[in-house]
Amino acid sequence: MGQASANGTGTPEPTPDPNDELLNDVEMSLFDHLEELRQRIFFALLAVLGGVILCFWKVNLIVKLLEKPAQGAQFLQLAPGEYFFVSIKVAGYSGLLVASPFILYQIIQFVLPGLTRKEQGFLGPIVLGSSVLFVAGIAFAYIALIPAALNFFINYGADVVEQLWSIDRYFEFVLLLLFSTGLAFQIPVIQLLLGLVGIVSGRQMLAGWRIVVLGAAILGAVLTPSTDPLTQSLLGGAVVGLYFGGAGLVLLLGR
pLDDT tens digit string along 139-175?
A: 988 888 888 878 777 776 667 777 778 888 888 888 8
Structure-model confidence comparison of residues 9 and 201, the more confident one: 201
Residue 5 lies in a domain: no
Residue 23 lies in a domain: no
Domain total of the chain: 1
- Give yes or no for residue 221 having a pLDDT over 50: yes
Please tell me the predicted confidence (pLDDT) of residue 50: 92
Residue 67 lies in a domain: yes
Residue 137 lies in a domain: yes
Mean pLDDT in the chain?
77
Residue 145 lies in a domain: yes
Burial of 57 (0-12, 13-18, 19+ CB in 10 A): exposed
Which of 11-15, 67-71, 90-94, 214-218 ranks highest by mean pLDDT?
Answer: 90-94
Domain with 66, as residue range(s), is: 29-252
- Give yes or no for residue 110 having a pLDDT over 50: yes
Structure-model confidence comparison of residues 129 and 57, the more confident one: 57
Residue 159 lies in a domain: yes
pTM over cut 0.75: no
pLDDT (mean) for 222-250: 74
pLDDT (mean) for 48-67: 90
Residue 127 lies in a domain: yes
Which of 32-41, 56-65, 222-231 ranks highest by mean pLDDT?
Answer: 56-65
pLDDT (mean) for 76-88: 85
pLDDT > 90 fraction of the chain, expressed in percent and rounded: 5
- Give yes or no for residue 217 having a pLDDT over 80: no
Please tell me the predicted confidence (pLDDT) of residue 15: 54
Structure-model confidence comparison of residues 129 and 28, the more confident one: 129
Give 5's pLDDT tier (boundaries 50, 70, 90). Answer: very low
Residue 24 lies in a domain: no
